[in-house]
Chain A
Amino acid sequence: MRYVGKSYPIHDACQKASGRAVYAGDMELKGMLHAAVLFSSIPHGFVKKLDCSRALEYPGVVDVVHCFNTAEREYNRYQSQFNQALIYTERVFNSHVRFVGDRIGAVIAETEEAAREAVKLIRVEYEELPYSLNVFETLKGTIDNVHPSGAVFECTDMVTGTMPEEDGVTVDTVTDLSRINHICMETHVCVADYDQYSGELTIYSPNQTVYGIRTLIGDIFGMDYSKVRVIKTTMGGSFGGKQEWVLEPVAAAAAIRVKRPVKLVYNRSESIISTYGRSPMHFQSSFTFGRDGSLKGVDCDLLLDAGAYLGNSVNYARTVGHKLFRGYKYPYCHFHSRAVITNTIVSGAFRGWTSPEATIMFEHNMNMGARALNMDPVDIRLKNVMHPGDADPLGNIPIGNFRADEALRQGREHFFWDQRKKEIREFNEKNRRYKRGLGVALGAHVNGFYPSKTDYARVDMRLTETGSVQMNITLHDHGCGTVTAMQMIAAEALGIPMEMVSLGEGDTKYTPLDVGCFSSRTTYVQGQTVCLCAEKFKDRLKEDVSALTGLPVSELVVENNLVYGKHHPEVCYSWSRIADECQQKLKHEVFVSYEYVPDTNPGVAGAHFAMVEVDTFTGMTKILDYLAVHDIGQAINREMCVAQTQGAVIMGAGAALLEHVVTKENGCPMGSLKDYHLINCFEALDVRVELIEDGGTEGPYGAKSIGEVCHTPVTAAVVGAVNDALKSDMNQIPLTPDVICAYLDEREKKEREKEA
């Protein structure tokens, strides 16, 4: 292939390297004002009174929007489709405040500085209410009145298959995941502009679905959808953090009120505290294995901390259950989940959309099962892994050409698993302070929404008079090269140079209706749509040349920017000439619009291997080597797939060892990168990535997803390696030095007591 499988820079790499790329925060519109938000300083209560008089007097202040003068309609920030069945708990500004960081109002001023200064001058009178900072406190009934719909939401109680009655080993474990944040380098931003004469609201936002924002904004403000235009801006990372709508309703409310463009930029602290993060989760699970290591049954109870508002939490807690069937085959599963409101940061989507969370729980149980049965952790996985031909039992969806088995075997060999096991045993026998361990984890994920939610995609292609192809498709590049990938696929399928294909990103005024760039659907579904549209486009070229020349379509060949007759080489049309003659003689544009509805959703897998060294004196963990083997079908933009996977490993390893948003006992969260630590360049290791590419999918050129699945096994692999090193059974994330030291102290104390 000419393009597919090669490596190209992201489409706007030069603009980014030169500093010329324009992110929403860099935008300047004529007459633009700036907003700054007033956040609740208490975890739970009512705003009794707001005194904005001093703020309104501050030089440069134009207006103040707040909970007593702004659209009161309740909504759900997760809404992205019309009439979506969701529980509405949130307002643009809330007088019943439910966490430190809840939005009460916003000052609109000539400069951001003036807006921020004036916010400090607003006097808020609260009536404080009891609050809960964790699911167990809420379950005691402390905040039953937090929402009219209550504080505890049953999500799913699902039984699949039957438990075989035979002798086995059961492991019972507890998994606790702390709250983490996406830390996209670009903090949250939105610019909104309202034209009072046309009644049109335009929103500029880095986001994963322009149509989702259009729908929610239209609903909140009672606007016809045709009057809401949403334009996707250059996105400085999402990782799931820019697919629920937090700033957009605020900026829209402000712009509508002042009838001018308004820019709202959250700083880092505000982005951590007042957008959303990955939910804390508490799992209690019980896995039963046969004596040969075959997994017989899974029983799992999940309490998901939704934070103060129900965004996606009910759906998220339900989806954890769906992810239990993507990697392994076993006869019985009982999964029960509840989403529980607390007076903390709102929970929402995170890269993998429950796959990493489910995997951290699942893989820990696989490790504990292997330990109980004295089996090798790779062997117990190979014993249970799904194979091509198997189906996801929920909906009986075939998992297609799923190569988890191969990924595990290849990884075991290339990571020198067996050899290292021996070396590590010897190392640990000799060393008292430093202990080394190996971890393996299998992560599996999806390719699109099919069949659980609607999924379809549309691509338009039109030929210019200079012979290039303009593509119209609703894309949302997160910064991982979606636009380039589509350009590569189109160039490959059309047989023309990449620079002859142009395309942009989502804009509800011009690009086709679309369900958004998430659920790892972009390459698999939209990429395939590009391929199929290109085929139709080539057919169209032949039909037009046939109409112009009288040669039958079957006689015509499309190749190298030309259409020519197989047996009539004298008939040879450049694409430029076709465009010109179509306009002048046939009186139409060379244009094809194609809609694709996927009816497959194969499994995609990553087998990850980690080697760590834990300093038992300090509790510090160092990752010594890491290998990620991925069943990708076909890499489209190779180096970008590798780079994304390496980034996912650093992100997931950070979640395993460092990252968490701490909430103090008074309900105040820590919103600073001084407290929220990430693995930096100095600590990061060169992650090895291997791709298994044998196609066999309904994706473009046999491709499958990578961006989420590569994050799925990481935390589990690192935690597994730490537990291997210490012969421990911890599964609380993150395993910070404090957690590890406390565990070791406790264990030593117990051992001493036993000896005594």
Chain B
Amino acid sequence: MRLSFVLNGKRKVMETDPDRRLLDLLRKDLHMTGTKEGCAEGECGACTVIINGEAVHSCLVLVCQLEGKEVLTIEGLEENGELSAIQRIFVEETAIQCGYCTTGMIMSAKALLMHNPNPTEKEIRSALSGNICRCSGYTQIIRAVKRAAAEGGC
């Protein structure tokens, strides 16, 4: 099929199979490997991207669902060649260890802050409950999201 959508702010038109997963389109066809596969069944959140402002698991989205949509991936977050605020704060707050959950975690956090710039801790925990981190106890991640909210940046 001919697919037309917006990827990280740029219009993209490409030939693809309608039943291809968005995750494969990103990783294999477009070589954008910042989005990770962790379970392929929507349980771990490593593949989270933002579509039309909502955090979604890209392993559960088929390409045919993308027509005309706006997709934001981790590769689209850097601003002027630098880490965006939320990315930088994740680094500074030691919220990153093995890093495999990090990009999905940041995308979920960003989607939350786009909707709710001043979330409570419970709202943060709820928004990130679909993103598994096996290294930490989430403390530094929650702290990073709180700080990103407080500094008004995502």
Give A residues with C-beta under 8 Å from B. 7-10, 12-23, 25-26, 28, 111-113, 182-187, 234-237, 239, 267-268, 478-481, 639-640, 642-647, 649-651, 672-674, 678, 680-682, 684-687
Residue of B nearest to A477 (CB): B98
- List B20-58 residues whose CB lies under 8 Å from chain A: 24, 27-28, 31-41, 43-44, 46
- Which residues of the other chain, A, contact B83 by a CB distance below 8 angstroms? 14, 17-18
List 15 A-B pairs, Cβ < 8 Å. Answer: A9-B91, A9-B96, A13-B90, A13-B91, A16-B102, A17-B88, A19-B32, A19-B75, A478-B98, A647-B135, A647-B137, A673-B41, A678-B132, A681-B138, A684-B137
Give Cα distance in the complex from A394 to B75, angstroms.
54
Residue of A nearest to B74 (CB): A19
| Minimum CB–CB distance for A184 against chain B, Å | 6
For A16, A26, A682, the residue with the greatest tally of chain B CB atoms inside 10 Å of its CB is A16
Which 6 pairs, one residue from A and one from B, show the smallest C-beta to C-beta distance? A19-B34, A479-B98, A646-B137, A16-B99, A236-B100, A673-B43
Give Cα distance in the complex from A235 to B135, angstroms.
12
Whether A643 touches B74, Cβ cut-off 8 Å, given contacts A186-B100, A673-B43, is no
B80 at the interface (CB under 8 A from A): no
Partner of A267, one of B28, B40, B138: B40
| B137 engages A680 (CB within 8 Å) | no
| Minimum CB–CB distance for B32 against chain A, Å | 8
- Which residues of the other chain, B, contact A7 by a CB distance below 8 angstroms? 94
B142 at the interface (CB under 8 A from A): yes
Give Cα distance in the complex from A685 to B122, angstroms.
11
| B34 engages A18 (CB within 8 Å) | yes
- Which residues of the other chain, B, contact A8 by a CB distance below 8 angstroms? 94
| A12 engages B137 (CB within 8 Å) | no
B106 at the interface (CB under 8 A from A): yes
| Minimum CB–CB distance for A471 against chain B, Å | 22
| B97 engages A268 (CB within 8 Å) | no
Q: Is chain A's binding surface mostly helix, strand, loop or mixed?
A: loop
Residue of B nearest to A688 (CB): B139
Give Cα distance in the complex from A202 to B135, angstroms.
29
Residue of B nearest to A686 (CB): B139
- Which residues of the other chain, B, contact A268 by a CB distance below 8 angstroms? 38-41, 44
B63 at the interface (CB under 8 A from A): no
| Minimum CB–CB distance for B130 against chain A, Å | 8
Partner of B97, one of A15, A20, A479, A687: A479
- Which residues of the other chain, A, contact B40 by a CB distance below 8 angstroms? 267-268
| A480 engages B135 (CB within 8 Å) | yes
Give Cα distance in the complex from A682 to B142, angstroms.
11
| A640 engages B94 (CB within 8 Å) | yes
Give Cα distance in the complex from A674 to B41, angstroms.
8
Give Cα distance in the complex from A649 to B136, angstroms.
9
| A19 engages B33 (CB within 8 Å) | yes
- Which residues of the other chain, A, contact B135 by a CB distance below 8 angstroms? 185, 237, 479-480, 643-644, 647
Whether A643 touches B99, Cβ cut-off 8 Å, given contacts A19-B33, A187-B37, A682-B126, is no
B140 at the interface (CB under 8 A from A): yes
- Which residues of the other chain, B, contact A678 by a CB distance below 8 angstroms? 132, 134
| B129 engages A681 (CB within 8 Å) | yes
| Minimum CB–CB distance for A717 against chain B, Å | 14
| B96 engages A16 (CB within 8 Å) | yes
Give B residues with C-beta under 8 Å from A. 24, 27-28, 31-41, 43-44, 46, 73-75, 77-78, 83, 87-88, 90-92, 94, 96-103, 106, 125-126, 128-142
Give Cα distance in the complex from A182 to B44, angstroms.
14
| Minimum CB–CB distance for B82 against chain A, Å | 9
| A687 engages B134 (CB within 8 Å) | no
Give Cα distance in the complex from A649 to B138, angstroms.
11
| A19 engages B141 (CB within 8 Å) | no
| Minimum CB–CB distance for B11 against chain A, Å | 21
| A647 engages B87 (CB within 8 Å) | no
| A646 engages B136 (CB within 8 Å) | yes
Partner of A674, one of B43, B102, B106: B43
| A18 engages B74 (CB within 8 Å) | yes
| A185 engages B100 (CB within 8 Å) | yes
Give Cα distance in the complex from A268 to B92, angstroms.
30
| Minimum CB–CB distance for A162 against chain B, Å | 44
Partner of B73, one of A19, A234, A651, A673: A19
Residue of B nearest to A183 (CB): B134
| A650 engages B138 (CB within 8 Å) | yes
| B134 engages A239 (CB within 8 Å) | yes
Residue of B nearest to A265 (CB): B37
Give Cα distance in the complex from A234 to B100, angstroms.
10
| A13 engages B99 (CB within 8 Å) | yes
- Which residues of the other chain, A, contact B37 by a CB distance below 8 angstroms? 25, 187, 267
| Minimum CB–CB distance for A352 against chain B, Å | 15
| Minimum CB–CB distance for A430 against chain B, Å | 27
- Which residues of the other chain, A, contact B102 by a CB distance below 8 angstroms? 16-17
| Minimum CB–CB distance for B62 against chain A, Å | 14
**Apart from the given pairs A8-B94, A28-B31, 9 other A-B contacts in the complex at a CB distance below 8 Å:** A9-B96, A15-B99, A16-B103, A17-B106, A112-B28, A185-B134, A237-B100, A681-B129, A681-B131
Give Cα distance in the complex from A183 to B135, angstroms.
10
- Which residues of the other chain, B, contact A646 by a CB distance below 8 angstroms? 136-139
| B98 engages A235 (CB within 8 Å) | yes
| A184 engages B134 (CB within 8 Å) | yes
| B96 engages A13 (CB within 8 Å) | yes
| Minimum CB–CB distance for A555 against chain B, Å | 43
Give Cα distance in the complex from A622 to B92, angstroms.
31
Whether A17 touches B87, Cβ cut-off 8 Å, given contacts A186-B36, A268-B41, A644-B97, is yes
- Which residues of the other chain, A, contact B98 by a CB distance below 8 angstroms? 184-186, 235-237, 478-480
| A18 engages B78 (CB within 8 Å) | yes
- Which residues of the other chain, A, contact B88 by a CB distance below 8 angstroms? 17
- Which residues of the other chain, B, contact A672 by a CB distance below 8 angstroms? 39, 41, 43
| Minimum CB–CB distance for B30 against chain A, Å | 12
- Which residues of the other chain, A, contact B77 by a CB distance below 8 angstroms? 18
Whether A10 touches B43, Cβ cut-off 8 Å, given contacts A651-B134, A681-B129, is no
| A17 engages B91 (CB within 8 Å) | yes
- Which residues of the other chain, B, contact A684 by a CB distance below 8 angstroms? 125, 137-138
Residue of A nearest to B27 (CB): A26
